[in-house]
A and B are shown apart, each in its own frame.
Chain A
Amino acid sequence: MKVTIGQYYPVESVIHKIDPRMKILLLIIFIAGVFFSNNFLGYIVSALFLGVSIKLSKVPFIFIFRGLRGFLFIILFTVVINMFFIDSGKVLFEFYFFKLTSDGVWFSVQMICRLGFLTAASSLLTFTTSPIQLTHAIERILKPFSRIGVPAHDIAMMMTIAIRFIPTLLEEVEKIRKAQMARGADFDVKGIKNKAKAFIPLLVPLFVSAFRRADDLAMAMEARCYRGDVNRTTMYKLKLEKLDYFVLLFGFLFLAFIFFTIDKR
């Protein structure tokens, strides 16, 4: 599998045990720190913070790097753009209208660090938090906003159902694909128009089936007394433990450190 971001890595570790809400908060703190930081020391400390977290999570480093690979293009693209369009600072290299400056290089290094750390930290969150925990956390975080019309519960329920049916629908795609191939369908055709045409025998049954499943599921949910967020409880309540406060303290220490070491210009 190419993209590893979004996958859960099921082991037991301190990081896995942290309350998912706290993990989301920490991710935000970390990203804020990385983006405020503007010197080498800041990035070293951020890297250490991230490195120690990954180590503690027992998720192999290679998994995190593979997660980065998917974003390599975006990162490189931003770097190249910045490298050549910033023209302040000492000129290092010039070729017609291309001009590479010291500021440009430094800015690119910053960009690599920021985007790299951001993707690595986000994938660490998904590696150590099961989808269901994540949805619970999002529901709880959004809850205060439901007064102003944010459908917190509905969003969480939709996420849960989506996650639940992804494997089922993937299986279905495979089955329909094979069934149509057995009827002589050819999916390896050239040209966008032909390709679109070739995929009709796959897409129509898939959509029909997805709608049928949605109908069935809605009925099954109603039969089990589902009526949205009315009078609803949850089996596992999220509860903040000592560990969570401890971790939060670390997060603030990190942020404070970054703030005090910012180069003021």
Chain B
Amino acid sequence: MRFIECEKVSFSYSNDEVLAEKNIDFKRNVFAVDHIDFSAIEGEFIAILGHNGSGKSTLAKLINGIFKPSEGRVIVDGLISADDKNIWEIRKNVGMVFQNPDNQIVATVVEEDVAFGAENIGIESREIIERVKKSLAAVDMSEYSKTAPHLLSGGQKQRIAIAGILAMKPKCIILDEATAMLDPIGRKKIIDIIMRLNREEKITIILITHFMEEALFADKVFVMENGKIVMSGMPKDIFSEAERLKSLGLDLPAAAAIGYNLRKCGINVDRNIVYDEEFVDYVVKSIKSEAKDKEYSRVEKREIFNDKIIEVKNVSYIYNESSAFEKKAIKNVTIDIFKGEIVALIGKTGSGKSTLVQTLNGLIKPTDGEIFVNGRNIWEKGFKIKEVRKKVGIVFQYPEYQLFEETVFKDAMFGPLNMGFSEEEATLRVIKAFKAVGIGSELFEKSPFELSGGQKRRVAIAGVIAMEPEVLILDEPTAGLDPKGRDEILANIKNARSGFDMTVVMVSHSMEEVCGISDRVIVMNNGEVILSGECGEVFQNGEILRDSGISPPAVNVIFKKIIDRGVIVPHNIYTVSDAVDFFKERL
């Protein structure tokens, strides 16, 4: 039976602000969702892909009755959403998990929050207690029932949100980019949970995501663009259309990406190979010559960096020292940052990365140890801390939230002017910085709040680049962006290095990103630096990494699987381009 049925559904935001926010830069009354036919069968697992502003979220909100269609109709479980008396029944049946974990928790105790939905639909007290217990167990959060939500991690908060929906006994759960703000561990846990709910409880799942590998597990995938569904089918049908996906601003999962790039080199890899296992099978069957050496040596040698620009010596930092909430965030950390390199700092949430980068420009003073920038101790008497901030710039996580000026240009001027540059000098620097991040002059006089998410972030980054620091630190610069946005930011970072001679320190959760861009990787766990070296060197320590909650890049996982099948291939390949390099002579 068709559980959800959208017939020629359209929806338009009639409000300029919303249009800007959704990055729909067309004229007023354009359809965010444009005459869509969409249906789902009970128990299906559906993934919806599409870049930011393509209409995915709007469609989701039409399905659970938050929005009513401007044209067409939505029928959920036999109920028409346009009819006011059906609204509550539909919302009860179709639960929704939103992107920002913080902004959907209502109560101050976990179990009270889980109960919230059930209370709203008038379930009896004893039954609620029962349901809350079961729901928390279903998301493996039973032990946190009495905890205050603000003490939980992002992933745990999202699990609470799912539990809150389960307590209403829904038939369908929509996840609206619910994994976008989470670290890989948190994300995997959420995906595991929803797959289990789908399989065991037969709950229909609609997963809206920017992560292609999550869509691989779906029964059906829809791709949206400009409010229309432009592709639909099984994951295989979608990911075999590599060119099409690229033009829609989307990515490919690792196996499909390697296959696609090999095809471009003239090797006839079946385009239907999109899952890891299929690719492994294919390699095992058709590899012509195995590798002689287990070590893969890259053609181009990496640069070597010698001049220390930042030295961190035995630095520790304790939050809330000598109080009940005392917490050692970093312990005895000693690292050097060399001039000109791009260093990636990785580690799971709470491993101390963010604290460490904040000590580098004197935003927090280490409880113990010393920090040298260009050979000078930054906490030495008589040394102005502002000088350090001029040399070491930090772009915080979600930097778009710090924009405050009337115009984009004024906002970027804030940093350089504070650092004591003249108006003319600052103007020149800002223009140069905007160029580096690809913000055109047509946006200069706009309010920063009118821009799209990706644009805002680039403006914020430009605001720091404009101070022309010698070291640029970025805390998870690509978090929450769609694939196109991610690629743009990474390109910006490379530009900043080459165009401004900057040293870059980047905190990241994406191992693909880390191996693609960095010269060196530093791994942290429990406040300590546990590994440091080139990508290849670091990922050889599989066990240590697993204990610190870090999984290798997807490409590397494929190579490990090939090795497990008894074929000799290098174990130290981490990026699609290296993989293609290796295979193109051998398949």
Contact = CB atoms under 8 A, between A and B. Distances in A.
Given A168-B102, A217-B103, A182 B66 contact: no
Interface stretch (A90-98, A233-241, A247-255): A233-241
A225 B121 contact: yes
A124 B403 CA distance: 43
Contacts of A183: 402, 414-415, 418, 463-464, 467
B424 to A, nearest CB: 18
Interface in A205-220: 205, 208-209, 212-213, 216-217, 219-220
Contacts of A175: 396-397, 401
A221 interface: yes
A27 to B, nearest CB: 22
Contacts of B61: 219
Given A179-B396, A219-B66, A225 B418 contact: no
Contact of B358 (A172, A178, A185): A178
Contact of B402 (A179, A227, A235): A179
Nearest to A162: B108
Nearest to B164: A224
Contacts of A171: 150
A24 interface: no
B571 interface: no
A224 B116 contact: yes
B115 interface: yes
A237 to B, nearest CB: 5
Given A179-B399, A205-B404, A225 B120 contact: yes
Contacts of A232: 119-120, 122
A132 B64 CA distance: 30
A180 B411 CA distance: 11
A181 B415 CA distance: 9
Contact of A233 (B64, B124, B389, B467): B124
Given A164-B105, A179-B396, A226-B120, A235 B164 contact: no
A167 interface: yes
Given A216-B104, A233-B122, A233-B125, A226 B116 contact: yes
A41 to B, nearest CB: 40
A234 to B, nearest CB: 6
A182 to B, nearest CB: 4
B67 to A, nearest CB: 10
A138 B47 CA distance: 45
B95 interface: yes
A200 B164 CA distance: 38
B428 interface: no
- B contact residues, range: 35 or more
Interface in A172-212: 172, 175-176, 178-186, 200-201, 204-205, 208-209, 212
B246 interface: no
B122 A168 contact: no
Interface in A124-175: 130-132, 160-161, 163-164, 167-168, 171-172, 175
Contact of B106 (A167, A176, A185, A217): A217
Interface in B92-127: 92, 95-96, 98, 100, 102-109, 111-112, 115-125
Nearest to B417: A184
Contact of A235 (B88, B102, B105, B129): B129
B418 A236 contact: no
Contact of A180 (B123, B397, B402): B402
Contacts of B128: 233, 235
Interface of A: 130-132, 160-161, 163-164, 167-168, 171-172, 175-176, 178-186, 200-201, 204-205, 208-209, 212-213, 216-217, 219-227, 231-237
5 contacts: A130-B109, A184-B386, A209-B401, A216-B103, A235-B118
Interface of B: 61, 64, 66, 88, 91-92, 95-96, 98, 100, 102-109, 111-112, 115-125, 128-129, 132, 148-150, 161, 164-165, 168, 358, 361, 363, 386, 389-390, 393-394, 396-397, 399, 401-404, 414-415, 417-419, 449, 463-464, 467
Which 4 pairs from chain A and chain B are nearest by CB? A184-B418, A216-B103, A220-B104, A204-B404
